[in-house]
Amino acid sequence: MGTMPTRRSTPSAPARMLDRAVSRGDFPGACLLAAREGQVRLHQAHGRAGLDTVFDLASLTKVLATTAVAMRLTADGVVDPGEPARRWLPELDGPGLRPLRLEHLLAHCSGLPAWLPLFRDPAVRAARPARRRHVVRRVVAHTPLAARVGAETVYSDLGFILLEWALERAGGARLDRLARRLIFEPLGLRRTRFIPLQPPGLPGALRRRWPFAPTERCPRRGRRLVAEVHDDNAHAMGGVAGHAGLFSTAHEVYLIARELLAAHGGGRSIFERDVVRAFFRRRPRRASSRVLGWDTPTPAGSSAGRRFSPRSVGHLGFTGTSLWIDLAQEVVVVLLTNRVYRGREPNPMPALRPRLHDAVMRALLDR
């Protein structure tokens, strides 16, 4: 696992960069972890955050829970990314949906729109809280395609809502329970979890146990969100969704990433080598940086910066989170912030992330 460094004594370039971001008001708190060859080299907390602070991971849910569960179920022969989605979701009977496969959902080329305010849909709002998750899925299943299946790559929360539904049908349990059984418990993760809205006292109980990074003051819910999912559609789904809803610390995010890196290299892991390699493989005929579930660096403008190798995978989260794994250089960089604390815009992360990643890679590779 490597050692667990405490707070820095002499500020490094990445530390100075994050301290300045806190001073500017980009976010109240941040936690950065960087590791190389299985050894944690940087683990730093900034502002109003500690090394053990739990953050709302937002869309990192897509890779650390939903895609990770898909990997485990694929390795067990329960699902096949190349199989029709209708095997598990016969509700997908609309025009043009017959060619839809699970891999289209994973690679964001399903043809579905990127996002819709599902939480405002009249059918969702009229449903009892216990039924809203099902109603959201039905709305997505009947959403007209914006493009032909497989024709375009459009990053889509809606696709991962359908993917989660299919995985639950295949795995025989709700996504949070599948992720706990297949991923979190085998790795001994204590703070990585979804926080369902039912029972209603759970967020409060968790706040008394662990420190959480608060996100924005939500006018629709009338409160500052702490240990409660920020994403509005995930909230409408009761806090457990395929596209958002996962909470964790930087160190526990790293432990999942380390396991994926080990599997890719053929080492001991809860993940299966050939499945991980298949999920991480670029499809030459697709003009897209997306692989199955994950993103990869682009020649210009990548959030990974300029020093991650082309053999890297990563993902971002709307709340100010990111994870990048360099498969060639055996580097993992986790950045967790609560950049939505003061509101959703402006977003400082597109400018900060590549510069920070370049500074981290210099610290890791040049010493």
The CATH number of whichever domain residue 134 belongs to comes to 1.20.58
Q: How far apart are CA 167 and CA 189, in angstroms?
A: 22
Domain boundary among 125, 155, 177: 177
Asked whether residue 182 is assigned to any structural domain, the reply reads no
Closest of 213, 192, 191 to residue 27, by C-alpha = 213
pLDDT, tens digit, 9 for 90 and up, residues 222-262? 999 999 999 999 999 999 999 999 999 999 999 999 999 99
> Using an 8 Å Cβ cutoff, are 18 and 30 in contact?
yes
Average per-residue pLDDT for the chain: 94
Tokens matching residue 105 = 């959902």
Whether residue 41 lies inside any domain: the answer is yes
Structural domain includes residue 2: no
Residues 340 and 237 in one domain: yes
Integer Cα distance of 235 and 246 in angstroms: 12
pLDDT range class, residue 283, cuts 50, 70, 90 = confident
Residue 361 CB partners (closer than 8 Å, separation 6+): 305, 307, 308, 331, 333
Which structural domain range is residue 137 located in? 74-177
Assess whether 104 and 227 both reside in one domain: no
Q: Are residues 206 and 303 in the same domain?
A: yes
Query: Are 173 and 192 contained in the same domain?
Result: no
pLDDT in tens, 340-360: 999 999 999 999 999 999 999
Q: Is 333 exposed, middle or buried (0-12, 13-18, 19+ CB in 10 A)?
A: buried
* Residue 6 reports pLDDT greater than 50: no
Judge whether 291 and 107 are in contact, CB under 8 Å: yes
Q: Is residue 55 within 8 Å of 336, Cβ to Cβ?
A: yes
Per the structure, the count of domains in the chain is: 2
The whole-model pTM stands at 0.95
pLDDT in tens, 83-98: 999 999 999 987 789 8
Distances from the Cα of 29 to the Cα of 19, 23, 361, angstroms: 9, 10, 22
172 and 233 housed in the same domain: no
- pLDDT value of residue 199: 83
Domain boundary among 177, 197, 224: 177
Predicted confidence at residue 81, as pLDDT, reads 98
What is the structure's pLDDT at 117? 98
The structure tokens 């029972």 sit at 199
Same domain, 142 and 291: no
Residue 305 and residue 214 share a domain = yes
Q: Is the pLDDT of residue 185 over 90?
A: yes
Q: Do 83 and 215 fall within a single domain?
A: no
- Where among 144, 177, 210 does a domain terminate? 177
Statement: residue 297 has pLDDT above 70? yes
Residues 38 and 94 in one domain: no
Q: Is the pLDDT of residue 8 over 80?
A: no
Where residue 57 sits, what CATH number does that domain have? 3.40.710.10
Q: Which residue has the higher pLDDT, 150 or 367?
A: 150
* pLDDT tens figures, 132-184: 999 999 999 999 999 999 999 999 999 999 999 999 999 999 999 999 999 99
Shared domain for 90 and 195, answered yes or no, is no
Pair 309, 341 in one domain: yes
Residue 3 lies in a domain: no
Residue type, 292: L
Strands (E), 259-354: 312-317, 321-326, 331-337
Tell which wins on pLDDT, 365 or 272.
272
Instruction: Assess whether 99 and 170 both reside in one domain.
Output: yes
